[in-house]
């Protein structure tokens, strides 16, 4: 039933080496790629190693799927974020943490050009996806958002049936689909929601609980076959049980997707993230603007165990007591 | 310096006489009188129309043409058909245009641009322009393009202009009520802005749009002034059969009958009023049903 492609490393290399602008054919070529033998294994229990195991397997430097180089982000004249440089590693979960208002959401939205929708928002510096500048003049933001999906703070299912919520993405992006039923089933299965909703696919998504709605939104994102999933405080509207289900889910999704998550919950970052980036905001002397900047970016265990920057230390110990 | 004192532990004070003071009572009475006056006027109107018109609420009213001389057997057939033609054409003209304009202004227009702001301000004003002005506008327009003024198309243009601002404004309000999260969710999946409007925002806003549109059409249905100004015919003894056909409508017919000296014409007018009120009631009821059944509360 694997209508989904598993994007393989080979597919990516092939794609980058061509250096062509992103087109849907590229994605389709990738989606037709061979399904690795181990695809089924992703749902097995052994696929959720504890962060401790994973830390030892992490490359020293992240293999950058998305890279920021000296990125500044403005809202009209206001400089919200400055000087951000970091690589988001393939098949890793990266957490963005920091006090509220330091620009975490701003950075996240810049990564898939959702900032374009805010009048006056502007990005300088370079944000690249497989080496290609996503703000390049020849890049279609629609295509960027398809490859780099997003899950929002408040679950936002469409006012339609569960089935229609999933089918919407593949339809609008014009994916070649043999069987929409299979896509829906697989997306829901990957989002660990299938068993709960398989008997009520035609019912309104609004009848689901908050946690289920959020997993539906994740499934909906998965259905268009993105490579990266951005999550902006995806659990902040959920209870602890729903939160823990989403965290388990993220752990499974890491096998196939690159995940970047903003969270205000440091325990969550410590639990799920491979690497963590700590942001803070500093008031500028000239303008008085509170501008966010990246303080420290490292493997999560190091960030929480032995941070190199005193500001990180202060922030983490302030919350962890 | 004053500071916040100790926690208040004194017994709760007795209720003040406020509600029963002469000023309060006077105010309440004024409110009641205002309501009563409005209700009495409305009831008188309805009751007299009903009493006068009921005997003439017969088959002839619907099947026969008007007559200049024999009111006893005259009917409103041409007016009823004319109203349907004009309102139908108005709907075809005004609904797509109004919704499209509303979608553009709400979803695509850049509010920073001076021309969009100009449209914005003017829309509010246009909605308040007296109906007769639209009749004059249409008359001028018809003259300019060489269109006969007394035909269905001209009447429909006048009424479309009249209700366009209302449709645009209600469309915008209905779109604005759709949460931004829905649009973001769609765009984040790689949908284009146009797909997002077409498949998410507009369908979600549709109940609100439909309600506003039906109310606007019911206003057009009851309107006589702009059509009279176009030289709307008061005496038609044939079925309108196309956009270029002469026509009369229920309000015009009623207006013309009430101007006649004979008592029988007054009865006929009352009967036509009952028909018109019935139609308006039906449309408003439909609007309310749509609103209650399909309107989403986000
Ligand atoms: N749409 C916007 N328009 C203008 N300023 C904004 C907008 N969104 C966020 N900001 C500002 O940018 C700064 C960073 O905000 P945000 O990225 O939301 O922070 P965080 O997610 O870390 O809490 C804040 O000062 C905020 O007021
Ligand atoms: Mg935020």
Looking at residue B13, its pLDDT comes to: 79
Give B204 to chain A, closest Cα distance, Å.
7
As a whole number, the mean pLDDT across chain B is 90
Q: At what angle do helices A210-222 and B180-188 cross, to 10 degrees?
A: 30
The tens digit of pLDDT for each residue in B101-110 reads 999 999 998 8
Q: What local confidence, expressed as pLDDT, does residue A147 receive?
A: 95
A 10 A CB-CB count for A130 gives 19
Domain ranges of chain A: 2-62+91-99+147-287+299-316
**Which of the residue ranges A212-216, A287-291, B281-285, B286-290 would you say has the lowest mean pLDDT?**
A287-291
Confidence label for B166 from pLDDT (cuts 50, 70 and 90): very high
What does the longest C-alpha to C-alpha distance in chain A come to?
A: 60
Copy the structure tokens of residue A314: 């202060």
Q: Is A51 in the pocket of ligand 1 (CB under 6 A)?
A: no
CB-nearest partner of B185 from A142, A143, A152:
A152
Higher pLDDT, B172 or A282: B172
Q: A97 — phi, psi (to 5°)?
A: -125, 165
Inter-chain residue contact A173 with B189, CB threshold 8 Å: yes
| Out of A117, A159, A172, closest to residue B190 by CB | A172
The rounded Å distance from CA A78 to ligand 1 centre is: 10
pLDDT (tens place) for every residue of chain A, 321 residues total: 445 554 444 444 333 333 444 544 444 434 433 333 333 333 334 444 455 567 677 888 888 899 999 999 999 999 999 999 999 999 999 999 999 999 999 999 999 999 999 989 999 999 999 999 999 999 999 999 999 999 999 999 999 999 999 999 999 999 998 999 999 999 999 999 999 999 999 999 999 999 999 999 999 999 999 999 999 999 998 999 999 999 999 999 999 999 999 998 899 999 999 999 999 998 877 777 889 999 999 999 999 999 999 999 999 887 543
Tell me the mean pLDDT in the region B183-191.
96
> What does the alpha-carbon distance between residue A142 and residue A160 come to, in Å, rounded to a whole number?
23
pLDDT at A22: 52
Q: Return all residues near B194 (Cβ < 8 A) that are at least 6 apart.
A: none
Q: Would you call B191 and A158 a contact, using CB atoms and an 8 Å cutoff?
A: no
pLDDT score for B295: 76
Query: Which residues in chain A have Cβ-Cβ distances shorter than 8 Å to B179?
Result: 156
Residue B13 per-residue DSSP state:
P
To which CATH superfamily is domain A2-62+91-99+147-287+299-316 assigned? Answer: P-loop containing nucleotide triphosphate hydrolases (3.40.50.300)
CA–CA separation, A91 and B36 (whole Å) = 73
Is A142 close to B192, i.e. CB distance below 8 A?
A: yes
* pLDDT reported for residue B18: 67
- Subunit contact B190:A156, Cβ cutoff 8 A: no
User: Residue A128 forms beta bridges with which residues?
Assistant: A67, A133
Q: How far is A260 from chain B (nearest CA, A)?
A: 15
Find out whether the beta carbon of A105 lies less than 6 Å from any atom of ligand 1. Answer: yes
- Which of chain B's residues have a Cβ under 8 Å away from the Cβ of A172? 186, 189-192, 195, 199
Summarised one tens digit per residue, pLDDT across range B70-110 is 887 888 898 999 999 999 999 999 999 999 999 999 999 88
pLDDT digits (tens, 9 = 90+) for B253-275: 999 988 888 888 899 999 999 99
Q: What is the mean pLDDT of residues B189-199?
A: 95
Regarding the beta carbon of A224 and ligand 1, being less than 6 Å apart is answered: no
CB contact under 8 A, B189 and A142: no
Ligand 1 closest atom vs CA A279: 22
What integer pLDDT is reported at residue A38 of this predicted model? 36
Does ligand 1 come within 6 angstroms of the Cβ of A106? yes
Model-level ipTM above the cut of 0.85:
no
pLDDT confidence band for B291 (50 / 70 / 90): confident
């Amino acid at each position: 039933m694997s209508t989904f492609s598993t994007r393989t490393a080979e597919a990516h290399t092939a794609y980058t080496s061509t250096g062509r602008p992103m087109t849907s054919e590229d994605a389709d070529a990738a989606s037709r790629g061979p399904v690795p033998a181990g695809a089924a294994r992703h749902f097995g229990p052994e696929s959720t190693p504890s962060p401790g195991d994973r830390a030892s397997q992490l490359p020293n430097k992240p293999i950058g799927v998305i890279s920021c180089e000296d990125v500044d982000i403005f809202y009209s004249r206001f400089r919200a974020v400055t000087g951000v440089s970091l690589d988001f590693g393939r098949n890793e979960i990266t957490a963005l943490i920091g006090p509220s208002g330091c620009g975490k959401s701003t950075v996240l939205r810049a990564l898939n050009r959702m900032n374009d929708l805010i009048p006056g928002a502007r990005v300088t510096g370079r944000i690249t996806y497989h080496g290609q500048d996503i703000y390049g003049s020849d890049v279609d933001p629609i295509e960027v958002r398809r490859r780099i999906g997003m899950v929002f703070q408040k679950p936002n299912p469409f006012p339609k049936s569960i089935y229609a919520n999933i089918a919407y993405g593949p339809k609008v992006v014009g994916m070649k689909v043999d069987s929409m039923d299979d896509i829906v089933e697989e997306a829901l299965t990957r989002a660990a929601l299938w068993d709960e909703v398989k008997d009520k696919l035609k019912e309104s998504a609004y009848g689901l609980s908050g946690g289920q709605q959020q997993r539906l939104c994740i499934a909906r994102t998965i259905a268009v076959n993105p490579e990266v999933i951005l999550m902006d405080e995806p659990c902040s509207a959920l209870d602890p049980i729903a939160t823990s289900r989403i965290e388990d889910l993220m752990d499974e999704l890491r096998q196939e997707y690159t995940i970047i998550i903003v969270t205000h919950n440091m325990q969550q970052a410590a639990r799920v993230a491979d690497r963590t980036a700590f942001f803070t905001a500093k008031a500028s002397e000239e303008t008085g603007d509170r501008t966010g900047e990246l303080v420290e970016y490292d493997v999560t265990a190091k960030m929480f165990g032995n941070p190199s920057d005193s500001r990180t230390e202060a922030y983490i110990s302030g919350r962890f007591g | 310096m004053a500071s916040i004192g100790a926690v208040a532990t004194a017994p709760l004070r007795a209720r003040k006489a406020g509600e029963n003071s002469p000023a309060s009572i006077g105010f309440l009475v004024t409110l009641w009188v205002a309501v009563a006056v409005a209700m009495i006027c409305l009831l008188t109107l309805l009751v007299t129309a009903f009493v006068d018109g009921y005997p003439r609420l017969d088959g002839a009213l619907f099947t026969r043409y008007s007559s200049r001389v024999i009111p006893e057997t005259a009917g409103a057939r041409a007016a009823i058909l004319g109203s349907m033609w004009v309102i139908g054409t108005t709907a075809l003209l005004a609904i797509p245009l109004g919704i499209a304009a509303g979608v553009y202004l709400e979803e695509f227009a850049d509010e920073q641009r001076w021309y969009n702001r100009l449209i914005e301000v003017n829309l509010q004003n246009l909605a308040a322009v007296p109906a007769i002005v639209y009749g004059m506008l249409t008359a001028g327009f018809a003259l300019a393009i060489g269109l006969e003024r007394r035909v269905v198309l001209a009447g429909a243009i006048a009424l479309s202009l009249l209700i366009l601002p209302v449709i645009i404004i209600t469309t915008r309000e209905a779109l604005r009520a759709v949460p931004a999260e829905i649009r973001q969710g769609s765009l984040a999946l790689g949908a284009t802005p146009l797909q997002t409007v077409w498949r998410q925002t507009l369908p979600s806003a549709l109940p609100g749009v439909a309600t506003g549109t039906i109310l606007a059409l019911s206003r057009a249905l009851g309107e006589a002034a702009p059509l009279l100004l176009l030289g709307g015919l008061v005496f038609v003894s044939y079925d309108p059969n196309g956009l270029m056909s002469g026509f009369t409508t229920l309000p015009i017919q009623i207006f013309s009958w009430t101007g006649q000296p004979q008592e029988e014409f007054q009865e006929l007018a009352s009967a036509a009023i009952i028909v018109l009120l019935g139609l308006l009631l039906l449309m408003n009821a439909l609007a309310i049903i749509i609103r209650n059944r399909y309107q989403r509360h986000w």
